[in-house]
Amino acid sequence: MCVSPPAYSPEPFEGPQAERGRAIPTVVQLAIIGDIHALWSPLDTAYFNASDVHGVLCVGDLPGRNHRQLPTVAKALSGLTKPTLVLPGNHDGPGPLDVLAEGLFGRSPAFRAAKINRRLDRLTADLSPAQLTGYRRHTWSTADHTVDVIAGRPLAMDGRFLSFRHVLESRHGVRTLDESTDRLCALVDTCAHPIVFLAHNGPAGFGANAHDPWGLSFFGRDNGDTDLQRAIGYAIQTKHDVQAVVAGHMHHNSRRPRSWQRRVGNTLYVNAARVPRIQTLGGTEQRHYVRLTLGDGAATAEAGCAQRS
Ligand SMILES: [Zn+2]
């Protein structure tokens, strides 16, 4: 556990590296927020603002079935005083018909890209000072410790396709899964610290069985992202310390339990998407998040509950 609260750099996610010669690093505590799907309240904001976590990583999918809830959730997240990154999921801009078209055909109409881009622009503004991210490295320094967070591909929903290709092309210049892989590997090349990958959909290789972290029980196939899988592999091959990969998208809950975390080598893979995020169990309201602990050893994750204070 964190012995003493670390000091933040003035710009926590872009700040200078940790000062050399300081004490041996203790740990960094991150709150991983799975698919919110409209279940966020002022109680959550107050809990995390008062907690000992050093930063918050949201894996995306903020609204419920309808994208119209997106501004409400985004403005609530803007009240977080801890450094916060939000990686947009497939519901964070696209509407239900856009998601349906991607699901059925692996492609949504090009003319919808402008609309989705406008929603993403508004989401960026509504979230501030929380930060909408994607295809970016964020170097986060506390007084004792530095981590590189690689924000992966936005709007991911099916590992077979570059979902919402027209949006990715206009916002990021990425047109194919190979180009997406190259973009992520280029970010890896810029990393000089332990790495946490932040994604919406999980990487390929963790979904062949229903009980896998990102298993797709009704299709019986691995729905994971191949570009993310390849970038992780590249990072490990090039001797980077990939401490954790955090994502969501493939929901789990008490009726559909799955192994939501798995360690492979030194890397911990975490699916934080417990949906519904807020539920009453045994008469107690549970507000789910995952507490990710990074230190000198291997990362660990435990299910947390944003309790009423
Ligand atoms: Zn999703």
- If one counts the domains in the chain, the total is 1
* Percentage of the chain modeled with pLDDT above 90: 70
CATH of the domain at 249: 3.60.21.10
Q: 219 C-alpha to center of ligand 1: Å? A: 16
Q: Is the predicted pLDDT of residue 19 greater than 50, yes or no?
A: no
Whether residue 10 lies inside any domain: the answer is: no
Q: 274 C-alpha to center of ligand 1: Å? A: 12
**How do residues 113-161 score in pLDDT, each as one tens digit?**
999 999 999 999 999 999 999 999 999 988 788 999 999 999 999 998 9
- Alpha-carbon separation of residue 63 from 39, 42, 135, 287 (angstroms): 8, 16, 22, 16
Q: 17 C-alpha to center of ligand 1: Å? A: 33
Whether residue 6 lies inside any domain: the answer is: no
Based on the number of CB atoms within 10 Å of its own CB, is 53 exposed (0-12), middle (13-18) or buried (19 or more)?
buried
Q: Give the domain range for residue 78.
A: 28-305
- Looking at residue 106, what is its pLDDT? 81
pTM beyond cutoff 0.75: yes
Q: 242 C-alpha to center of ligand 1: Å? A: 24
Q: 47 C-alpha to center of ligand 1: Å? A: 25
Whether residue 20 lies inside any domain: the answer is: no
Whether residue 166 lies inside any domain: the answer is: yes
- Looking at residue 254, what is its pLDDT? 67
Q: 278 C-alpha to center of ligand 1: Å? A: 17
Mean pLDDT of 274-303: 90
Q: 249 C-alpha to center of ligand 1: Å? A: 4
**How do residues 59-84 score in pLDDT, each as one tens digit?**
999 999 778 899 999 999 999 999 99
Whether residue 300 lies inside any domain: the answer is: yes
Q: 309 C-alpha to center of ligand 1: Å? A: 30
Q: Is the predicted pLDDT of residue 2 greater than 60, yes or no?
A: no
